[in-house]
């Protein structure tokens, strides 16, 4: 079967249950911190020589600062201080916030996935 890249769409659904969200932040940061290429405390000596080369191209990449920066922020500012549930609660769209966002134009109703599933169900008899 041929894959036509121009028809490929990747949809990202960033909101999860709180339990999934907390696990992602906690496990993600802990894995990043164990990674010697990203954790300055665990980098081998030769890394610092390569860093000089990388730093000319992109200081953020050379320092590993860009990798997981959102996770790290959420981990240290919210998870470790016991406030991750508060952060999460603000991210959840209530029906009122959803309606306000659609009216203001900051949110749009995207029916592509729903429409695709309906069309597939109609063609397969399911």
What does the alpha-carbon distance between residue 83 and residue 25 come to, in Å, rounded to a whole number? 13
Q: Residue 85: what pLDDT?
A: 96
Q: Residue 123: what pLDDT?
A: 87
Helix axes 18-34, 84-91, angle to 10 degrees: 120
Q: Residue 45: what pLDDT?
A: 58
What does the alpha-carbon distance between residue 67 and residue 23 come to, in Å, rounded to a whole number? 18
Q: What is the pLDDT of residues 67-89, one digit of tens each?
A: 677 888 899 999 999 999 999 99
Q: What is the pLDDT of residues 49-62, one digit of tens each?
A: 555 655 555 555 44
What does the alpha-carbon distance between residue 95 and residue 27 come to, in Å, rounded to a whole number? 31
In the DSSP assignment, the letter for residue 93 is P
pTM, two decimals, is 0.59
Query: Are 79 and 25 in contact, with CB atoms under 8 Å apart?
Result: yes
| Residue 65 pLDDT exceeds 60 | no
| Tokens, residue 13 | 């659904």
């Amino acid at each position: 079967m041929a894959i036509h890249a121009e028809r490929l769409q990747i949809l990202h659904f960033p909101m999860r249950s709180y339990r999934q969200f907390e696990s992602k932040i906690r496990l993600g940061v802990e894995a990043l911190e164990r990674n010697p290429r990203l954790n300055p405390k665990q980098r081998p000596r030769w890394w610092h020589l390569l860093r000089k080369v990388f730093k000319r191209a992109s200081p953020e990449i050379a320092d590993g600062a860009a990798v997981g920066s959102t996770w790290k922020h959420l981990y240290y500012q919210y998870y470790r201080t016991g406030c991750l549930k508060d952060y999460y609660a603000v991210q959840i769209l209530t029906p009122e916030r959803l309606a306000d966002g659609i009216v203001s134009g900051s949110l749009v109703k995207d029916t592509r996935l729903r429409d695709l599933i309906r069309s597939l169900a109609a063609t397969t008899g399911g």
